[in-house]
Amino acid sequence: MAEYNGVMVFGEAKEGKLAVITTELLGCGRRLASELGQELSCLLVGSDVGGLAQEAISFGADKVYVVSDPLLKNYQTDTYVLVTEKVAKQGMPKVLLLGHTALGRDLAPRLAFRLGTALTTDCVELAIDPDSKSLLMTKPVYGGNAQASFASESLPQIATVRTKAMSPLERDDSRQGEIITIEAGLDPSSLRTEFLERVVAEVEGIRLEDAEVVVAGGRGIGSAEGFEQLEELAKILKGAVGASRPPCDNGWVPPGYQVGLTGKIIAPDLYIAVAISGASQHITGCSGAKTIVAINKDPESNIFREASFGVVGDWKKVLPAFTAKVKELLAD
Amino acid sequence: MIVCVKQVIDPEAPPASFKVDAAKNTVTLPPSISPVIDPYAEYAVEAALRIRDAQGGKITSISLGTNLLRDVVKKPLSMGADELILLEDESFSDGDSYSTAYALAMAIKKVGDYDLIFCGRQASDWDAGQVGLGIAEILGLPSVTLAQKVEVTDGKARVERVTDDGYEVISVALPAVITVSNELGEPRYPTIKGIMAAKKKEPVIWKPADIGATPAQVGASGRRTKLMKLFQPVREGKCEIVEGETPEEAAANLALKLREAKVV
């Protein structure tokens, strides 16, 4: 029987290119594969993904498995688990990495249970133990209030990795690799779910995850109208507006604004947190920011433990004055 | 309908109150802060209640663990669930996603009659998000995760599933497992009537033998992952508080400070 060997990355496509998370996984996978002295492969699944194989090689893969089938056009649990199971059994990777995305969160646990192995989700750090050569997987737990490192003896060792936790390699189009095409071999009658439609939330202006400046509001903003003041500051700073969970749950802003553990993980240059108390579940989404600025009336609130600069005061008084001064400074 | 509900330490407790007991590899809170039912599981209870409101049905809540506080694990009953099953035994403790999903799947098999199994998208302690899918895999059921809306018609559920840039709509044949996300909207508060009714209901308690499992298959003995280390990253905590005579002046000083630091 063949031995488990190497690192495999499950690749995702976005707008006809490799998703950023996939380039990050390839960067991390390359490092782990080198430490193991083994190869890095990438699995691409979809209806027409063969064109991305060279891109995966340019970002570090030695080998790319391509499974293209019209039935794989949209992500569905049943088809994607079957195909990934098939390739994992053929390629027999020792380590299998997926993004902690809507797709990875759904696919990875079922896959791990089906393969009879274990999984650690939402990892921010992966390392090979120098003695045992097994994978050490570190993830935030308790909403970010602590971190835990896990190991698993069953193979393959599967992990989903948080976005922006790893760095991609510099793209190198001269890299060579092997491309292997695998038949999906799906039986449409075995599908227990049906994909009906996809609804993409419309975003005006800069996308939250791409913005260099984010102005975010919390429960203390109190209303949808309050967020208009945040929009004004964001516009001046050419940034985007974000929120902690309560404003999203209360419908003051769309769900796509949510920054945090169950929302978006972002890493802007500047994050201005207005009336956000700074629960760990929220901080986990913005701690990658270069500079955090806090405006909060409670000097004891946790956000001041995370921020570099802060003002203690009622945002209704502080924010308009701050916005006016910033506008004045930027006009000079 | 079955809802899986976990008792957890209160995730809304102030971050400074979370402490790691390195010797035991556990996270602790001061005794003054009581455990709660997992907030994500409350959304799962709410999803089941909304379906019952629309077309009836019975809701059974299942919780697994040790030292399950009755006031805590009865919350789904006070919100409106019909029955409560507790998998309560020392051998269920310190499980991982695998051994927990195994025990819950065996219990659900014993319950037998179900169309929908709801779980929270993840539990707020280990934030793994694996148990719901594990149950589906063990029971051979289809699954849809991260639901923000669930409707049932003609033996199928129509589920809106939250994605990274919006949502997708999936139709799934029943029985199925659905994990629920907070985009569903606020769970209802228990009513006084609900709380009184819950007080009167006695939970059914099952041990491993009752669900056809051996103690070796559940809890810590059934684990597939090993917790190597639990720790708290060091926080730097070097916030510069910008002051002023008035809030407006402090705000202007903050803008100047950020300009000086070339942040804006």
Burial class (CB in 10 A: 0-12, 13-18, 19+), B78: buried
- Per-residue model confidence (pLDDT) at position A203: 79
* pTM exceeding the 0.90 threshold for the entire prediction: yes
Q: Structural domains in chain A?
A: 7-190 (3.40.50.620), 208-331 (3.40.50.1220)
Among A114, A119, A195, the strongest candidate for a mutation testing the B interface, having the largest count of B CBs within 10 A, is: A119
- Strands A125-128 and A135-141, bridge-based pairing: antiparallel
- Average model confidence (pLDDT) for chain A? 95
Question: Do B136 and B142 touch, CB atoms closer than 8 A?
Answer: yes
Q: Which helix (H) or strand (E) holds B178?
A: strand B176-180
Q: Which range (A105-109, A118-122, A188-192) has the least confidence? A: A188-192
Instruction: With CB atoms and an 8 Å threshold, state whether A118 touches B18.
Output: no
d(C-alpha B208, C-alpha B165), whole Å? 42
Instruction: With CB atoms and an 8 Å threshold, state whether A110 touches B254.
Output: no
Closest among A161, A84, A138 to A115, alpha carbons compared: A84
In this complex, is the C-beta atom of B234 within 8 Å of any C-beta atom belonging to chain A?
no
Mean pLDDT for A38-49 is 97
User: Which candidate from A145, A250, A256 shows the least CB-CB separation from B27?
Assistant: A145
Mean pLDDT for A104-132 is 96
Any idea of the CA torsion for A96, A99, A101, A102, to the nearest 10 degrees? Answer: -30
- Per-residue model confidence (pLDDT) at position B236: 66
User: Which candidate from B124, B185, B249 shows the least CB-CB separation from A143?
Assistant: B124
d(C-alpha A36, C-alpha B261), whole Å? 43
d(C-alpha A328, C-alpha B61), whole Å? 58
- The pLDDT tens digits of the residues spanning A250-270 come to 999 999 999 999 899 999 999
In this complex, is the C-beta atom of B247 within 8 Å of any C-beta atom belonging to chain A?
yes
- Phi, psi values for residue A200, rounded to 5°: -95, 125
User: Which candidate from A76, A147, A200 shows the least CB-CB separation from B231?
Assistant: A147
Instruction: With CB atoms and an 8 Å threshold, state whether A102 touches B161.
Output: yes
Any idea of the CA torsion for B118, B148, B72, B51, to the nearest 10 degrees? Answer: -60
d(C-alpha B124, C-alpha B11), whole Å? 6
- By CA distance, what is B176's nearest residue in A? A192
User: Which candidate from B121, B185, B227 shows the least CB-CB separation from A262?
Assistant: B121
- Judged by phi (left if over 0) then psi (alpha if -120 to 50, else beta), residue A274 lies in beta
Instruction: With CB atoms and an 8 Å threshold, state whether A152 touches B230.
Output: no
Mean pLDDT for A200-216 is 90
Token pair of B119, please?
A: 């779980």
Burial class (CB in 10 A: 0-12, 13-18, 19+), B83: middle
Q: Structural domains in chain B?
A: 2-222 (3.40.50.620), 235-264 (no CATH)
Burial class (CB in 10 A: 0-12, 13-18, 19+), A176: exposed
Instruction: With CB atoms and an 8 Å threshold, state whether B240 touches A312.
Output: no
> What are the chain B neighbours of A319 within 8 Å (beta carbons)?
251
Would the pLDDT of A17 be above 80?
A: yes
> What are the chain B neighbours of A114 within 8 Å (beta carbons)?
137
- Per-residue model confidence (pLDDT) at position A6: 97
In this complex, is the C-beta atom of B134 within 8 Å of any C-beta atom belonging to chain A?
yes
Instruction: With CB atoms and an 8 Å threshold, state whether A119 touches B96.
Output: no
User: Which candidate from B128, B226, B238 shows the least CB-CB separation from A151?
Assistant: B226
Handedness of CA B126, B132, B133, B139 (dihedral sign): positive
d(C-alpha A273, C-alpha B189), whole Å? 30
Please give the share of chain A, as a percent, with pLDDT higher than 70: 99
**ipTM of model:** 0.94
CA A170 to chain B, closest CA, distance in angstroms equals 25
User: Which candidate from B130, B172, B183 shows the least CB-CB separation from A119?
Assistant: B130
Instruction: With CB atoms and an 8 Å threshold, state whether A248 touches B164.
Output: no
In this complex, is the C-beta atom of B21 within 8 Å of any C-beta atom belonging to chain A?
no
> What are the chain B neighbours of A150 within 8 Å (beta carbons)?
225-228
Model confidence at A201, pLDDT cuts 50, 70, 90, reads confident
Residue in the block written with tokens 């050490």: A136
Token pair of B138, please?
A: 């063990």
User: Which candidate from B227, B235, B250 shows the least CB-CB separation from A313?
Assistant: B250
- Per-residue model confidence (pLDDT) at position A264: 94
Instruction: Name B128's Cβ contacts closer than 8 Å, sequence gap at least 6.
Output: A120, A121, A122, B97, B122
Residue in the block written with tokens 């004045």: A328
Q: Which range (A22-36, A222-236, A249-263) has the least confidence? A: A249-263
The conformation of residue A62, written as its DSSP 8-state character, comes to S
Q: Which residues pair with B62 in a beta bridge?
A: B4, B85
- Strands A95-99 and A63-68, bridge-based pairing: unpaired
Residue in the block written with tokens 């809802």: B3
User: Which candidate from A120, A278, A317 shows the least CB-CB separation from B248?
Assistant: A317
Instruction: With CB atoms and an 8 Å threshold, state whether B166 touches A198.
Output: yes
What pLDDT tens digit does each residue of chain B (264 aa) get? 999 999 999 999 998 899 999 888 999 999 999 999 999 999 999 999 999 999 999 999 999 999 999 999 999 999 999 999 999 999 999 999 999 999 999 999 999 999 999 999 999 999 999 999 999 999 999 999 999 999 999 999 999 999 988 999 999 999 999 999 999 998 999 999 999 999 999 999 999 999 999 999 999 999 999 999 999 987 766 899 999 999 999 999 999 999 999 988
Q: In what order do the strands lie in the sheet with A63-68?
A: A119-123, A157-161, A95-99, A7-11, A40-46, A63-68, A178-181
Token pair of B222, please?
A: 């059934």
| Helix extents (H) in A126-238 | 224-236
Would the pLDDT of A1 be above 70?
A: no
> What are the chain B neighbours of A317 within 8 Å (beta carbons)?
246-248, 251
Would the pLDDT of A326 be above 90?
A: yes
Instruction: With CB atoms and an 8 Å threshold, state whether B168 touches A195.
Output: yes
Token pair of B46, please?
A: 């709410």
> What are the chain B neighbours of A280 within 8 Å (beta carbons)?
15, 18
Closest among B176, B184, B164, B167 to B39, alpha carbons compared: B184
> What are the chain B neighbours of A270 within 8 Å (beta carbons)?
258, 263-264
